[in-house]
């Protein structure tokens, strides 16, 4: 029996990080193997335990996290991933990915990602940050490299503003992730 497609779920520093817990749960229930990578900033909003429990896999919280064997965990995940899903994706993470910065586990996975894997980014940030020319330039760069984006959507933002910047609904992100990671068959 073929193994389930591996989704590496990168969670970044955003108030929407709590919604990534539901993402991990729904993707796991849909038959995907989920490994979660929490950035340092994400850990200001959510803890590893719910992700570990719902995904049934260890959570990477640091570039130097150890696991059994000799191969670094970020390289193993980059090699085995069918999809790198970054949700929520902060402006900082989008910029770092566009610039190829690899100063944390998520950045290293993105740079070392196997060429068959897809990347899906679900932004969540203040509307001005999303619409800033720098952010839009980074998005254009990533799109030119074949990266898919879903959202953001419009609505009331956690900062109190109304506008674009909300994380796309979890069900929509899950549906797109499943489209990008069909079961082997």
Domain segments of the chain as ranges: 6-180
- pLDDT tens column, 120-142: 999 999 989 999 999 999 999 99
More confident residue, 174 or 158: 174
Best CA proximity match to 173, nearest among 17, 42, 52, 20: 20
Q: Tell me which of 159, 171, 183, 184 is the catalytic residue.
A: 159
Range in 27-31, 107-111, 117-121, 151-155 the model is least confident about = 151-155
pLDDT of 22 reads 98
Q: Quick check: is 159 catalytic?
A: yes
Which of these CATH numbers, 3.30.465.10, 3.40.50.1950, 3.90.79.10, 3.40.50.620, describes 6-180? Answer: 3.40.50.1950
User: Would you call 158 exposed, middle or buried from its count of C-beta atoms within 10 A (0-12, 13-18, 19+)?
Assistant: middle
- Taking the C-alpha atoms of residue 127 and residue 165, their distance in angstroms, rounded to an integer, is 5
């Amino acid at each position: 029996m073929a193994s389930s497609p591996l989704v590496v779920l990168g969670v970044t520093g955003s108030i929407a990080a709590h919604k990534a817990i539901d993402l991990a749960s729904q993707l796991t229930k849909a038959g995907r193997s989920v490994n979660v990578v929490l950035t340092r900033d994400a850990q200001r909003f959510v803890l590893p335990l719910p992700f570990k429990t719902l995904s049934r896999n260890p959570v990477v919280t640091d570039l130097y996290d150890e696991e059994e064997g000799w191969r670094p965990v970020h390289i193993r995940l980059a090699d085995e991933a069918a999809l790198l899903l970054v949700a929520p994706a902060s402006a900082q993470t989008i910029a770092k990915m566009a610039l190829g910065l690899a100063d944390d586990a998520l950045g290293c996975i993105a740079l070392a990602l196997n060429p068959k894997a897809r990347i899906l980014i679900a932004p969540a940030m203040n509307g001005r940050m999303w619409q800033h020319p720098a952010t839009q330039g980074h998005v254009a760069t990533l799109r030119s490299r074949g990266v898919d984006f879903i959202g953001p959507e419009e609505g009331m933002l956690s900062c109190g503003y109304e506008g674009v910047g909300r994380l796309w609904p979890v069900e929509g992100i899950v549906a797109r992730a499943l489209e990008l990671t069909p079961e082997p068959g």
